[in-house]
Structure 1
């Protein structure tokens, strides 16, 4: 399978006003047979593990592109 580059950005309202925001950019090689949705779910799950305070926030941006120019 080919390697892909992704960017995911999230936003979450804070209890006393304002927002927490975060993003993550990296590479992933999807497992054989994975769909785009499967890949998104895997990225989202790993994001939540790495950044638990905002891991399940609302996704405001997601990009998944082949990592080859």
Structure 2
């Protein structure tokens, strides 16, 4: 078996065009591979942190179907401001 790591990022945009939150999500299939993605997003006003996690995980799995049964190694959702 080979180990594979992939990282995907959204293209940097001016702050005004970015989402309200910055996120990072890493999934891993132990011994087989890991995938990390990050970007910005403005969730719906009534969304919970869990709603955002499920939506982002679904997005990552759509891009990497082999990660459907992967473990979540890391998830961060922060307001996109300093």
What's the TM-score once normalised by structure 1's chain length?
Answer: 0.82
Alignment partner, residue 9 of structure 1: 26
Q: CA deviation at 1:23?
A: 0.4
Which stretches of structure 1, 4 residues or longer, exceed 6 Å deviation after superposition?
A: none
Q: Flag structure 1 segments of 5+ consecutive residues without an equivalent.
A: none
Query: More relative contact order in 1 or in 2 (CA 8 Å, sep 6+)?
Result: 1
Q: CA deviation at 1:67?
A: 0.7
CA distance in 2, matches of 1:67, 1:55: 28
From 28, 38, 52, give the equivalent of 1:25: 38
The answer as to whether partners of 1:48 and 1:56 remain within 8 angstroms in 2 is no
Count of residue correspondences: 64
